[in-house]
């Protein structure tokens, strides 16, 4: 594979609160390569959004404390950059798309100005050229009649159209990395499908890398090249989309995959659930954070936090199950089915 655009190494983020220090991100490492989409999945509170807001340094300090690790982008550690330097990077090299398109647009500004603002700030470009480029961008993200739409306000747009505007703004400066934090969660399925198509199309043309944060595994299956699964502030499994969906190794990934009905599933079958609730991160557990909810937990899971075990060159999982001395675990049926699909697919 080609070289990484972004490297996160052992990132730790804490929040100081009245109830004590919350270790929200506890040693996260991953790379993002050029032109790929890395999906990050996990429950609310797993630290997926915090990790990615840390890349943009959007977390207010205090309460946030960057207590360790590095975020390498373009050879620079973003954690060492001053606020002034970060301003140059934000919106220029790295852009972000948020979940709610209404709150990320300025309601008192015309759409055209909101799109050109980024370009005028970051690039040496004349107003008329910026406008031309804005029209191109609007066409690219599929907004009909851009000439007229340019002079309208956000409230005159539907939810799906607003999200297209947000994407156009994010792309205005031709960023190397796009962070999309649940960009389609607030949208209808039909609109969601259109937005995902737009994002894929743009990526194909511009080779932008995308970090896609979501909790919808269907969306992950649709957009991702690689997937990182987060739980309690750590990455518990990372691999290609096929690794994660057809050869998952971590019991938490099994739980996530099992709790989603797929449309082909037999009726009457009960959904598998993950019992219990995530750990309190003011006082993170000593061993594997998932152990109390893991029906397959072993004694060592409660005592020592497992390292990342290698499954293959691009697939890693953080579970003692993969230790050479670990006993065989009985796999849940739904996971067995997925394994079977996988090996079946390989034979073809």
- Residues near another protein (CB under 8 A) are 43-44, 159, 188-193, 196-197, 215-222, 224, 241-242, 245-246, 255-263, 265, 267, 270-274, 277, 341, 345
Least spacing, CB of residue 259 vs another protein, in Å: 4
Hey, what are 124's tokens? 């040496």
Select 112 or 248, whichever has its Cβ closest to another protein: 248
Select 188 or 333, whichever has its Cβ closest to another protein: 188
Task: State the residue for tokens 């649940």.
Answer: 182
Select 237 or 242, whichever has its Cβ closest to another protein: 242
In 3D, which of 239, 218, 259, 237 has the Cα closest to residue 306? 237
Q: Would you state the torsion angle of the CA atoms of residues 20, 25, 26, 28, taken in this order, to the nearest 10 degrees?
A: -170
Select 82 or 263, whichever has its Cβ closest to another protein: 263
Least spacing, CB of residue 254 vs another protein, in Å: 11
Least spacing, CB of residue 271 vs another protein, in Å: 4
Least spacing, CB of residue 209 vs another protein, in Å: 19
Select 45 or 306, whichever has its Cβ closest to another protein: 45
In 3D, which of 300, 340, 290 has the Cα closest to residue 323? 300
Q: What Cα–Cα distance (Å) separates residue 217 from each residue in 34, 185, 256?
A: 23, 12, 8
Select 110 or 215, whichever has its Cβ closest to another protein: 215
Least spacing, CB of residue 269 vs another protein, in Å: 9
Measured CA angle at 43 (ends 294, 243), to 5 deg: 70
Select 92 or 214, whichever has its Cβ closest to another protein: 214
Cβ–Cβ < 8 Å for 165, 105? yes
Name all contacts of 336-340 with Cβ < 8 Å and 24+ positions apart.
338/245, 338/246, 338/247, 338/248, 338/257, 339/246, 339/247
Least spacing, CB of residue 48 vs another protein, in Å: 12
Cα–Cα distance for residue pair 177/179, rounded to 1 Å? 7
Radius of gyration for the chain, computed over Cα atoms and rounded to the nearest angstrom = 21
Least spacing, CB of residue 200 vs another protein, in Å: 11
Cβ–Cβ < 8 Å for 132, 125? no
Q: Taking the chain, what is the end-to-end CA distance rounded to the nearest angstrom?
A: 25
């Amino acid at each position: 594979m080609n070289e990484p655009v972004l490297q996160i190494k052992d990132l730790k983020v804490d929040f100081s609160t009245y109830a004590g220090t919350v270790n929200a991100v506890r040693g996260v490492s991953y790379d993002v390569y050029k032109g790929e989409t890395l999906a990050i999945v996990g429950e609310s509170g797993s630290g997926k959004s915090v990790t990615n807001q840390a890349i943009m340094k959007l977390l207010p300090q205090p309460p946030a404390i960057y207590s360790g690790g590095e975020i390498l982008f373009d050879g620079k550690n973003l954690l060492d950059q001053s606020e002034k330097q970060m301003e140059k990077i934000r919106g220029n090299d790295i852009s972000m798309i948020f979940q709610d398109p209404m709150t990320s647009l300025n309601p008192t500004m015309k759409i055209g100005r909101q799109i050109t603002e980024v370009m005028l700030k970051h690039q040496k470009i004349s107003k008329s050229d910026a406008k031309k480029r804005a029209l191109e961008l609007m066409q690219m993200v599929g907004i009909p009649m851009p000439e007229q739409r340019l002079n309208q306000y956000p409230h005159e747009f539907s939810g799906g159209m607003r999200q297209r505007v947000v994407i156009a703004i994010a792309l205005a400066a031709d960023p190397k990395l796009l962070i999309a934090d649940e960009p389609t969660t607030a949208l209808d399925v039909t609109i969601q499908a259109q937005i995902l198509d737009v994002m894929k199309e743009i990526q194909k043309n511009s080779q932008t890398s995308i970090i896609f944060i979501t909790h919808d595994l269907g969306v992950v299956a649709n957009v991702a090249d690689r997937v990182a699964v987060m739980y309690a502030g750590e990455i518990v499994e990372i691999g290609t989309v096929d690794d994660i969906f057809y050869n998952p190794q971590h019991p938490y990934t099994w739980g996530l995959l099992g709790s989603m009905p797929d449309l082909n599933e037999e009726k009457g079958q009960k959904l598998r659930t993950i019992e219990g609730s995530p750990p309190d991160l003011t006082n993170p557990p000593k061993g594997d954070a998932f152990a109390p909810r893991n029906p397959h937990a072993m004694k060592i899971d409660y005592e020592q936090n497992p390292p990342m075990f290698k499954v293959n060159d691009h697939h890693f999982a953080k579970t003692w199950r993969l230790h050479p001395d670990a006993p065989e675990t009985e796999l849940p049926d739904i996971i067995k089915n997925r394994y079977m699909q996988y090996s079946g697919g390989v034979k073809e």
